[in-house]
Chains A and B, each alone.
Chain A
Amino acid sequence: MWQDLHAQLESKGVTVVTVALDVNTNDALPWIEAAAPTHPSLIDNGHVTDKLFGFDNVPMAVWIDETGRLVRPAEQASIEPSKPLPTLPDEAPERLHKTFAELALFRGDAEGYLAAILDWAEHGAESKFALSEAEVVTRTGERPPEHARAAACFELGQWHWANGRPDAAVPWWREAHRLQPENWTYKRQAWTFVTTQEGQPPDLLQGPNDVYEGNWLDDLIAQGGGATYYTPPDL
C-alpha cells in the first residue's frame, strides 16, 4: 500500500518513510520483507516518534515539506477504505460479537486523505491541505505533564525490555498506560507481549490478561467505543 504510493509519487518529489513502532525489531521484519519497500522503512524501538510528533495510534502520519517543516501534524493516515467485516455466526463468543460491533463503528476518510496527499504532491505549498506553521502547532496541541511523564516511563520499560528484562518493563509500561490511557501505542505494544503466543502471528484482539489491568476491547469501550478509536483527518 505505502510502497505503491511511494512508487507513484517519487517522481513528484515525495518520499514515503514508514516507521514501525515496534519494541521488538523481529516483530516488524516479516511485514517489511513482505512489502519489499524501496522507500526508507525504519524501526522505532523506543516509540520516540510518539513524543516527537504526537503519534498515539497507528496508522498515523505527518507531512514534511522540502524545507523540513511540518505542514500537517500527526493524524490518522489510512489510504485504503476498511474492508467490510465478515458476518459472525450467532454461536461465536459474545466477546467476539462485542469486538466486531466496536470495529464497525471505526471512522475514517481514506479516500479524502489519499486525495489530499495527491494534491500536495502536485501543488506543494499551494495545496490547500498544506497547513501554516501556526496551524500545525495549534492542531498538535498541548502536552500535559502526565503525558511527558508517560513517555519517560514507557522509555524505561523499553530500556528494560531491550536489555533482556521483560518483567522489569511491566511496571513502567503499566504506569505509562495509567498516565496516558488514550495512547494506544503504549498499550497495544505492551499487551502484544503477553497475549501473543510464542511463534504465532500477533494477537490483534489483545484480550484480558494477568499482567496488565487493561485490554483492547474493555479499554476501548471505557474510552468511548469504536467511534472514538480513530479521529478522521480534519481536511
Chain B
Amino acid sequence: MIVDSLTIDASTFASETGWEAKPEGMCKGPECVLLPEGARTGDGCLNLDVVAERLRMPLVEDADSGVWAVGPRGDGPALESALAPELTLPDANGNPFSLSSLHGRKVLLVAWASW
C-alpha cells in the first residue's frame, strides 16, 4: 500500500490490509491487537506510523517523493490462517476479477511471468 500521508482513514486501511479498527484494537479474523494511545486521531482515522509499528508492518519512506509504502506483517507467520486472502486483479482487458467470485469451486492459482 502506497500512501502520501501518515494519517489514514480506518476503512481504507481495512480494505487494503484486512485489519479493522474496533474498540478493542486492530482486528483481523479472531485476532485483535491492542492499540496504544495516540493510534487513533478521533475522526475515524489512524496514525499510520503507530498502527504499523504495533502490527509489525514496515513503513518505508520515500522522502524524495513524499510517499510511504506499508509492507505486509513481518516477524511472524506469513499466513495468519489458511483462509485465502481476498485478491482482485485485472485481466488482460483491464477488467477487475475477484478471487472470491469463484467461491464454491476449487481454484488452482498459478503464478507465471514473461521474464
Chain A residues within 8 Å of B, Cβ to Cβ? 2, 5, 9, 13-22, 25, 27-33, 40-44, 48-49, 51-55, 58-71, 73, 77, 117, 120-121, 124, 133, 136-137, 140-153, 155-156, 159-160, 168, 172, 185, 188-189, 191-192, 196, 202, 204, 206
Contact = CB atoms under 8 A, between A and B. Distances in A.
A47 to B, nearest CB: 9
21 contacts: A14-B108, A16-B107, A16-B110, A17-B109, A51-B71, A54-B79, A61-B110, A68-B103, A73-B79, A124-B106, A141-B77, A141-B78, A142-B76, A148-B75, A149-B71, A151-B72, A153-B69, A156-B2, A156-B69, A168-B65, A188-B115
| Residue among B76, B80, B87 with most chain A CB within 10 A | B87
Given A137-B77, A153-B69, A155-B2, A59 B112 contact: yes
A86 to B, nearest CB: 21
Contacts of A73: 79
B66 to A, nearest CB: 12
A5 B105 CA distance: 15
Nearest to A55: B111
A69 B107 CA distance: 10
A153 B69 CA distance: 7
A2 B91 CA distance: 16
Contact of A149 (B74, B105, B109): B74
Interface of B: 1-2, 56-60, 62, 64-65, 67, 69-85, 87, 89-92, 97, 99-100, 102-115
Given A62-B109, A68-B100, A31 B78 contact: no
A142 B72 CA distance: 12
Contact of A137 (B65, B81, B85): B81
